[in-house]
Structure 1
Amino acid sequence: MNMMTRLFAGAAALGFAVSAHAQDIVVKGEQVHTMAGPMIANGVVVIDDGTIVAVGPAASTPLPEGFRVIEAKVVTPGLVDARTVVGLAGYLNQAQDQDQLDESAPVQPQLRAIDAYNPQEVLVEWLRGFGITTIHTGHGPGALVSGQTMVAKTAGLTADDAVIRGEAMVAANLGPWALTDGSKSPGTRAKQIALLRTALLAAQAEDEDSEDKKGKSKPPSLETRVMRAVLAGERPLLVTAHRSQDIMSALRLKEEFGIDLVLDGASEAYLLTDAIREAGVNVILHPPMMRQYGELENASFTTGAVLFEAGIPFAYQSGYEGYVPKTRVVLWEAAIAAANGLEWNEALAAITIDAARILGVEDRVGSLEVGKDGDVALFDGDPFEYTSHAVGVVIDGEVVSDTPQ
């Protein structure tokens, strides 16, 4: 069954979102890549009540009696998609399942992904089948400040079941994707930055409680509260910027306001490695196979290797696609990076532990370690080989997929 057949078949299935009920599981692998140390040959991962309680060689790791045992050639942590709009953007690509962008105003930081996230969207199930257990999703490009993102598991009947961080970052966008036509604002790059600075300065200047015309206390607006969280370092500003001039504009905002900045996309980051490293900024890099035109005409398959060599923390993402099936798969994107300068372990780290660190959830996901969530991906061969399949997925100790993808 090909990719699109599986995708559309899943849309007809009832109950494709999984409500996790932790099991007692032993995962065995000929190779276990923990991302917390060297690969373990003939290793095991023991999961008790949804949490990893042991990781090690099968020969020396005690296996509890009565635990379900599942096996695969290669075992990795559950994969982490560092930036997507899945769950807000649906596979039908019709008005009723497209909540990733509200165009009623250019600056809307008050919009929360968790209020629009649909964990039963078939794309969530589809990604889960490839071993992706955690996603950083939310409002996408098309507005200067499009809303707040969230970090969620790819299982759960409701957003509250799935969520890890309900308010993760504030998504902003620079360049043509967030420009407007005609006389509406912002119409230029300079106006984009001016509006962002205005929003930050307003939040910086406004008292905690102002007064209305009648002298009554007036609490700050939702917009102001969110931008204050950015100023306080409680929520990073996630800036989608591909061109070098837009990346530099974002870095200037970071320096001016002392905010926590994460670069998204960053097609021309390889031109600015010194500036990005000195600014201490993390990068959620564009999918390597994203079509190289327009803002991405200077994109490169090798940018991940360049960033790694420069010592800049980065992760890969599926990003946003305007056409069906509305998403890419980070497993495949990392595979391309592994064939273009990144070492195998470095590519896997970019969709596991390094992605988890950038999202601030490394205490729960991204590696196979005692005390972390029981999220595991199982493969029948090298995950980056085209002919390999994801043959099993475990989330919080629950087997949520056992159909080869």
Structure 2
Amino acid sequence: MMCTLMILAAAFASIALPLHAQVAVRGETVYTMAGAAIRDGVVLIGANGKIERVGPASEVHVPAGYRVVTGRVVTPGLVDAHSVVGLAGALGQAHDQDQLDRTEALQPELRAIDAYNARDELVSWLRGFGVTTVHTGHGPGALISGQTMIVKTRGDDVGDALVDTATMVAFTLGPSVGQNFRNAGTRARGMALVRTELIRAQEYARKQRAGDAQPRDLGHEVLGRVLNREMPALITANRVSEILAALRLKEEFGFDLVLDGAAESYMVIDEIRRAGVPVIIHPSMVRLTGETQSATLETARRLREAGITVALQSGYEGYVPKTRVVLFEAAIAAANGMAFEDALRTITIDAARVIGLGDRVGSLERGKDGDVAVFDGDPFEYTSHVCAVVIEGQVVSETCR
């Protein structure tokens, strides 16, 4: 009887699947983004969802029991450096558009985690194109629209997807804010309102340190984290005047800054480089009107050649296509003069570093998350497809798209 029970227990154990399967991903070319590309390479992902080993097939043995996924080209899972997906839903109706609250122009206390919908079809849409990590949250359009977060493109609720609850605080400078909030007014008034709010946050923090009794202020607490360099300020600024204003705010208040949009950044390359600020370039399909009328498809290349860290983004589109795909954004950058691996960096390791996650995603290295995209051809060729996507060892997509 005991022997029978032991046999049955062993049988059940053999068919029970771990939360993260053991996976071997093999490609004719593996771009690790941590060194030279590997011909006939293998990426081993352990049961803990972390990468165990990366190398040529001649050196990396695939253990028995590993699920094998193959393709022509293998890259790290793609990283979207700035999106509003999960807050701005596919339907485009009031009930699924939480990326911008028009109640007040200054709302740093708004948390992306409270509005993120992991089940929105745009999330799975991005995942099917190899996007495994997304920096999303409250978007441009308010002087301070709220906080951003980082998620993986998986799961049925925000807990399944969550990587980082509060990543950056989203600001916007420029006349578009005045169109959304009448009290924001001109550029000068907008800047004055932002500066005033930061000064109030400084005073709030000073009183807290001194032990002075005061009502709790969630917005000032969040801005205090920005001022203490615990969270960067993500400032959307497209024209030269707004970009330089953002750099002045950084200098005055000493916070960490990530420039977003930056349509005219190629005109002030020296200033951005001296400030040591990374840039998340606007999507290539941005409409060439108003603040973005001087945008060019060569901006990513120009900034990269100047030594500025550049990432690309899907951004937000109020009409169609609702969300873009960073894979195509990088392809357009490559088509406009950026070297292939430099373009790939803008949606892998460089994007990961810009959002503060470079030690976990963005490259295929031992100990990092087992996030992998598998292609049937050149990733930047329009006729190529993403045929498999792995997130932390789970094969989440096997449909060629």
The TM-score by the shorter chain falls in which range? Answer: over 0.9
- Percent identity between matched residues is 59
What SS does the corresponding residue of 1:218 show, helix, strand or coil?
Answer: coil
What's the CA shift for 1:317?
0.3
8 Å Cα contact 1:241/1:247 also seen in 2:
yes
Contact 2:152 2:161 (C-alpha < 8 Å) held by counterparts: yes
- Corresponding position of 1:148: 147
Unaligned residue ranges in structure 2 (runs of 5+):
1-17
Q: Find the counterpart in structure 2 of residue 203 from structure 1.
A: 201
Contact 1:208/1:220 (<8 A) preserved:
no
Equivalent position of 2:24 in the other structure? 26
- 1:383 alignment counterpart: 379
Shift of 1:219: 4.5
Matched, 1:356 2:357: no
Q: How does 1:133-282 map to 2 (within 5 A)?
A: 133-180=132-179, 184-207=182-205, 209=207, 217-282=213-278
The residue aligned with 2:313 is 317
CA contact (8 A) 1:52 1:370 kept: yes
* Partner in structure 2 of residue 106 of structure 1: 105
Per-residue displacement from partner, 1:344-385 (whole Å, max 9, x unpaired)?
Answer: 000000000000000111111000000000000000000000
Q: What SS does the corresponding residue of 1:354 show, helix, strand or coil? A: helix
**Contact 1:91–1:325 (CA under 8 A) maintained in structure 2:** no
Deviation of 1:217 (Å) = 2.8
Question: Does the residue aligned with 2:183 lie in a helix, a strand or coil?
Answer: coil
Q: CA deviation at 1:82?
A: 0.3
Q: Secondary structure at the match of 1:223?
A: helix
**Structure 2 Cα separation of the partners of residues 322 and 21 of structure 1:** 37
For 2:68, give the aligned amino acid. Answer: V
Q: How many residues align?
A: 382
The one-character-per-residue Cα deviations of 1:115-142 (angstroms, maximum 9, x if unpaired) are 1101111000000000000000011122
Structure-1 residue corresponding to 2:85: 86
Q: Structure 1 residue 161: deviation in Å? A: 1.6
Match in the other structure for 1:283:
279
The reply to whether residue 327 of structure 1 matches residue 327 of structure 2 is no
Distance of 2:324 and 2:82 partners within structure 1: 11
* Equivalent position SS for 2:294: coil
Contact 1:181 1:187 in 2 (8 A): no
Tell me how far apart the structure 2 counterparts of residues 130 and 21 of structure 1 sit (CA, whole Å).
23
Report the aligned-residue RMSD: 1.6
Following TM superposition, by how much is the alpha carbon of 1:105 offset from its aligned partner in structure 2, in angstroms? 0.6
In the aligned structure 2, how far is the partner of 1:61 from the partner of 1:219?
A: 60
Q: Deviations over 1:286-342 (max 9, x none)?
A: 112322222111101111110011111110001110013311111001001001110
Higher percent of residues as helix:
2
Single out whichever of 348-357 and 157-166 deviates more from structure 2.
157-166
Letter paired with 2:87:
L
Counterpart-to-counterpart distance in 1, 2:283 and 2:222? 29
CA 27–242 in structure 1, closer or farther in 2 if over 3 Å, else same: same
Distance 2:205 2:168 in 1: 23
The TM-score normalised by the length of structure 2 is 0.93
Q: Which is greater in Rg?
A: 2
Contact 1:265/1:285 (<8 A) preserved? yes
TM-superposed CA distance for 1:209, in Å, is 5.0
How much does 1:21 deviate?
3.1
1:184-239 deviations in whole A, cap 9, x for unaligned? Answer: 311100011101100111111225556xxxx9933430011011001000010100
Q: CA deviation at 1:181?
A: 6.7
Letter in 2 for 1:260: D
CA contact (8 A) 2:87 2:98 kept: yes
Residue 179 (structure 1) shift:
1.1
Give TM-score, length-normalised by structure 1: 0.92
| Stretches (4+) displaced over 4 A | 207-210
**Equivalent position of 2:53 in the other structure:** 54
